[in-house]
Amino acid sequence: MSQITPSYLKHHFLIAMPHMADPRFVNSLIYLCDHDEQGAMGLVVNQPGDLNLADILDQLQPTSEIPGSVASVPVYNGGPVQTERGFVLHRGPEQWEASMDLGLLQLTTSRDILLDMAHGIGPRDVLIMLGYTGWDAGQLDQELADNVWLSCPADNHILFELPSDQRLAAAARTLGVDLNLMTNQAGHA
């Protein structure tokens, strides 16, 4: 008997199904930064919070002048884990103090990227989040089997060029799915 190799979903979107029971993830679109046999880590990319980059920069350097174009960049609720910790998902080969190469994107957790953005030398395509989502080994795989999430390859156009309120539906459309036509009842065929 041949062994089945698990399929991991790094650089994929997770699309919350209409019957999502966890209120923290209702109508969520999650970008998966990592997914392997040890678990998964992702960022909610369609739920802006109450803060913007100016609020964050004011805490880092209260006396600095913040350009208006940078100041209004929204800060997203990236997930319920470590909600005080910041993450910057961005394109570009640039590396800051704490950047992780995700293949097609970078994930930076150091404040130097925010300070560079304040000076107009940071990445152009960027999403800033507080908190992240995480799954233990096998947990996400079970949720996928239970039809809690749909998954599709991530699309940088959806991430960086669409308004946040259009990202979930756009990701679902890449699968030919209209979430408005789906029931909020879970089940298996």
Over residues 128-148, the mean pLDDT reads: 95
Higher per-residue pLDDT: 150 or 69: 150
Q: How many CB atoms lie within 10 A of CB 94?
A: 14
Q: What is the band of 118 on the pLDDT scale with cuts at 50, 70, 90?
A: confident
Token pair for 171: 């990701």
For the ranges 7-11, 23-27, 151-155, the lowest mean pLDDT is seen at: 7-11
What is the C-alpha separation between 139 and 144, in angstroms, rounded?
9
User: Is the pLDDT confidence value at 3 over 50?
Assistant: no
DSSP class of residue 2 equals P
pLDDT of residue 103: 85
As beta bridge partners, residue 125 has none
- H helices, E strands: number in the chain: 6, 10
Q: What are phi and psi of 129, to 5 degrees?
A: -130, 150
- The 10s digit of each residue's pLDDT in 65-84 is 766 777 789 999 999 999 99
- The overall longest dimension of the chain from CA atoms, in Å, is 66
Domain boundaries, the chain: 12-179
- The 10s digit of each residue's pLDDT in 22-63 is 999 999 999 999 999 999 999 999 999 999 998 888 887 766
Over residues 162-169, the mean pLDDT reads: 97
Q: Which CATH architecture has domain 12-179?
A: 3-Layer(aba) Sandwich (3.40)
Average pLDDT, the chain: 88
Long-range contacts of 109-114 (CB under 8 A, 24+ apart): 109/85, 111/60, 111/86, 113/88, 114/53, 114/56, 114/57, 114/60, 114/86, 114/88
User: Residue 66 in contact with residue 58, Cβ under 8 Å?
Assistant: yes
Higher per-residue pLDDT: 93 or 151: 151
For the ranges 77-81, 93-97, 126-130, the lowest mean pLDDT is seen at: 93-97
pLDDT of residue 183: 60
